[in-house]
Structures are given as structure tokens and as C-alpha cells.
Amino acid sequence: MESLHNGVAAETGLLSENLDDEEQHESYFQLVWQRFRKSRPAIAGGLMVLSLIILAIFAEFFAPVDPTDANLQDSFIPPTRIRLIDTDGNFHLRPFVYNLVVTIDPKTFEPLWEEDPEQRYDIQFFVKSWEWKVLGLIPTRYHLFGVGEGGKIHLLGTEKQGRDLWGRACTAGRISLSLSLFATIVSIVVGAVVGIVSGYYGGVIDNVIQRFVEFVASFPQLPLWLALAAIIPRTWDSLQVFIIMVIIFSLLSWTLLAREVRGKVLAFRETDFILAAKEMGASDARIIFLHLFPNSISHIIVVLTLTIPQIILAEAFLSFLGIGIQEPLVSWGFLMRDAQNLQTLGTHTWIMTPVIFIIVAVLGFNFLGDGLRDAADPYSIV
């Protein structure tokens, strides 16, 4: 009876301990969320990133004009001015735009677009226009906004081939965000695995891995990225170029995370719960994936959010130089390529507007990463 009583007591104690662990586990994430939501920059960064993702996924819905429709007659149209007050000073509840007419500059012989106050087009919402497919599957003709037949609306103007910059910038977010995300995930996986293995086993394995990490980190990133991107054959299709660009950007981005995760694992491997798991006969794989990796996941997520903007800037730089993303793929850096011509940039300054998307993405991910980094250690709150 006494042994049975002791067994029940031990089982009850184990159950209560598991419940306490579960409550502590839940309270940890509650503390993380409470601290995260108190950071206004972090919330703002999350909203900025979410907005860019929505614009990229449903780019055609937010584009009143087909971004792939080239028309040289609409070349370099300036951003459309949305009005609520007409030229006579009358206020209108519905926003509208004036018709654009083109004239030729007598000195430079360049087309000049001017508003015609005699023709006004009201901006309508949820209009039917050109056909597109939701997520590439469901065909529809609905768009968020547009104007009547004969009117033109280009929020960011048009480029040299007459394509709408707003729609192209939204579409370009698909490549810029997905490429940076995939490249970061690859580098995170490689860095986390290398760091955990190096820190857990230590000894000769740790020395060999760390010397290899130092060897890879010794390469200058930018020149190597330029060299690798420059040797991509122009005959490759879009998917091949995308995959190679992911590999290029993830090639040198994993070393810093590997060193940081190694440091955390070195601190964890001598703790009581790791030593207890070893005494109970847990395999190395079980200890690594069920104990060490979950305890490093908060740091890995922070590094993920802080690495993505670095990849976005690197891709934009390479595409701006003409050795990155190529058509038919479109990225934010690719859209900036027209800004290489100083004469064009001086007369049509709105071709620089896609840089706004890059700035918003970099700031958003940095704000989000800083907020996650502060919230990942909620017990440091005084």
C-alpha cells in the first residue's frame, strides 16, 4: 500500500510539474506578446510588412491598369493628381482626375502631359476592368479602383514603355519579397544546423566547423555576389535565374547566425535539462531537435527578420546594375534600372518612386526585428 501510495504521489507530482511547465510555456509567449505590442515601432513595422505582402499577393486587384500592358504613346506620363477641388474652386465628395492631353515641347521636342479641366473622370471603387486571376486560379475582372473609359490614372506615373509604375511596383514585390525570404530561410537553416552541431559536439568537430565558418566569412560578400550574378547565362529561364539568385544570396549569409547559435548552444548543453536528457538515454538527434533548437528559435526568428532587408537591398543593388533579376521577372531593383540615365532621371523624376517600396520594406523588417529581439527576453523587464 505504501509503495502504491508513493507511486500515485509521484505520478501526481509529475502531472503537476507538467502542468506547471505548460503554464510557464504559455506565460512565456504571453509575456513576449505583451512586450511586443507595447513597442509602437514594432507594431508599425509589422503593419508595413503586412501591407507590402498584401499588395504583392493581390497586385492586380490594386492596379487600375494592366502593369504588363505596354503602350509607347503613354510613355513617361507623370503621376496622376487626384483632386477633390476643381479649377473653379468647387469641392467634390468623390475624388476625380482630369483628362491628360499631350503636347510637344518646342525646344526639346519631348512630350508634355497636361491636365484638361474640360474633361473630368470620377474615381470609382470595385470596378470591372481587365481580367486577372486571384492567386493564379480564380479569374475575375474586379479591381479596387479605376476611372471611366477614356480616362487615365497612374498613381506613380508610367515608365518609358508606357507601363503603369504602381502596378509594376506592386507586382515586383512578389519577386523581391519571396526571393529575400527564400534566401534567408536557406541561410537560416544552414546556419542553425551548423551552429547547433558545432556547439553541441564541441572538441575537434567544433574546431573544424568554426575554421570552415571563418574561411567562408572571410570572403568579401559584395564582390563575390557581383561575380556570381555576372556569370548567370542570359539564356536561362526565369525559374533557373530565381533559384540561382536565392543560392547566391544565401551563400554567405549563414555564417553570422552559425556563430551566434553556437554560443547559445554552448550555454545550453551544460544545463540540467540537457544533462537529464542524456542520462535518460535520449539520442543526440532528439536533444538537438527537441531541446536545443526550440530554445534557440526566438533568436533565429529575430535573425530572420533582420536578414531579409539585407537581402532586399543586395538584390536591388545587383538588379539596378543589370546583373540580377531579368525580364520577364520584375523586382524593385529592376524597376530602378531606368534611373541609371541621369538625363531621364532629371526630366522624369517619378521613375524613382519604386524606391519607396524598398525603403518601406527595409524599415518595416528592421522595426519588426528590433521589436522581436526585445520581446524575445521578456524576463529582462525590470
Interval 49-63: pLDDT, tens: 999 999 999 999 999
Q: Residue 6's pLDDT band (boundaries 50, 70, 90)?
A: very low
Interval 141-172: pLDDT, tens: 999 999 888 788 999 989 888 899 999 999 99
Interval 72-127: pLDDT, tens: 888 888 999 999 988 888 898 889 999 888 888 777 777 788 888 888 899 999 99
Q: Residue 379's pLDDT band (boundaries 50, 70, 90)?
A: low
Average pLDDT of the residues in 175-181: 91
Q: Which of 50, 2, 19 is nearest to 361 (CA)?
A: 50
CA distance 355 to 359: 6
Average pLDDT of the residues in 236-245: 81
Contact yes or no for 97/123 (Cβ under 8 A): yes
**pLDDT value of position 235:** 74
CA 258 → CA 135, 180, 285, distances in Å?
36, 19, 18
Interval 17-73: pLDDT, tens: 443 444 444 556 777 778 888 889 989 999 999 999 999 999 999 999 888 888 888
**Reduced 3-state DSSP string for the chain:** CHHHHHHHHHHHHHHHHHHHHHHHHHHHHHHHHHHHHCCHHHHHHHHHHHHHHHHHHCHHHHCCCCCCCCCHHHCCCCCCCCEEECCCCCEEEEEEEEEEEEEECCCCCCEEEEEEEEEEEECEEEEEEEEEEECCCEEEEEEEEECCCCCCCCCCCECCCCCEHHHHHHHHHHHHHHHHHHHHHHHHHHHHHHHHHHHHHCHHHHHHHHHHHHHHHCCCHHHHHHHHHHCCCCCCCHHHHHHHHHHHHHHCCCHHHHHHHHHHHHHHCCCHHHHHHHHCCCCHHHHHHHHHHHHHHHHHHHHHHHHHHHHHHHHHHHHHHCCCCCCCCCCHHHHHHHHHCHHHHHHCHHHHCCHHHHHHHHHHHHHHHHHHHHHCCHHHCC
Strand partners, 102: 113
**pLDDT value of position 248:** 83
CA 234 → CA 145, 222, 229, 242, 351, distances in Å?
38, 21, 11, 13, 25
